[in-house]
Amino acid sequence: MEWRLANRQDWRDGAGDLNHNRMRDFVASGEVPGIIAYVDGEPAGWCSVSPRPQLIGMRDALRHPDAADIWSVICFYVPEQHRGRGMMGALLSAAVDYAKANGARIVEGYPFVPEMADDGVGGTTLIFERDGFERVAEIRPGQFTMRYYTHRRP
C-alpha cells in the first residue's frame, strides 16, 4: 500500500491491520495491484505492477505521473523457500506481459545494483537487464530507473 497512499506517513500510520484492510478494499474495488506466482497451487511470489496513476505516493518523483500507458514495477516478494530459483525474473517477465496486455507502452522499474539491493524488494538491475530493460536515469547512487518498451516484445 505504501505507494498507493498520498504519503509515507499515511502508510506508516496504517501499519498492520489498517493497511491490510486498505489493500483488501483496493482489490475488492476491482483494481489489480500486481501478480502472484504459484508453485504446486500455492502462492510462491508477488510482483506489484500498476499503471502510474494508481501510484499516487510516487507523483512527486515522476515526470508524467498520470501517464496510464506507463506502468511501474515497484516491489517483489518471494518467500525464502522459493528464492534462488529464478522466481523474481519469472515474475518480472510475467509483469511485463500483463502490463502489455493491459495497454502499457512502457514498463518501468526502480531497482538497485545487486551489491546495494539490501532486501531486494525493488529488484536488482541484473534481473531487469536480463529481461530487456534499459537504464534510463540514475535515481541515486546505485539505484536506477529502468524501462522496457513493450513494442519490442512479441
Q: What is the CATH number of the domain that holds 145?
A: 3.40.630.30
Does residue 88 sit in the same domain as residue 140?
yes
**6 has pLDDT over 90:** no
- Select the highest-mean-pLDDT range: 10-19, 31-40, 51-60, 127-136: 127-136
Does residue 52 sit in the same domain as residue 96?
yes
Q: What is the mean pLDDT of residues 47-53?
A: 88
pLDDT value at residue 61: 65
Does residue 46 sit in the same domain as residue 120?
yes
Number of neighbours of residue 97 by Cβ within 10 angstroms: 16
Does residue 126 sit in the same domain as residue 51?
yes
Side chain identity at residue 38, one-letter code = Y
Does residue 42 sit in the same domain as residue 72?
yes
% the chain with pLDDT above 90: 50
Does residue 137 sit in the same domain as residue 63?
yes
Number of neighbours of residue 30 by Cβ within 10 angstroms: 6
Q: What's the whole-number average pLDDT of the chain? A: 84
pLDDT value at residue 111: 94
Does residue 72 sit in the same domain as residue 87?
yes
Q: What is the domain extent for residue 66?
A: 32-152
**119 has pLDDT over 80:** no
Cα separation, 101 vs 12, whole angstroms: 33
Does residue 68 sit in the same domain as residue 15?
no
Does residue 1 sit in the same domain as residue 72?
no
Does residue 43 sit in the same domain as residue 25?
no
- Length of the chain (residues): 154
**13 has pLDDT over 90:** no
Cβ neighbours for 128, distance < 8 A, ≥ 6 positions apart: 92, 109, 111, 146, 148
The partner residues of 135 in beta bridges, in order of sequence, read 146
Cell numbers representing residue 54 in the block: 494508481
- pTM for the model stands at 0.83
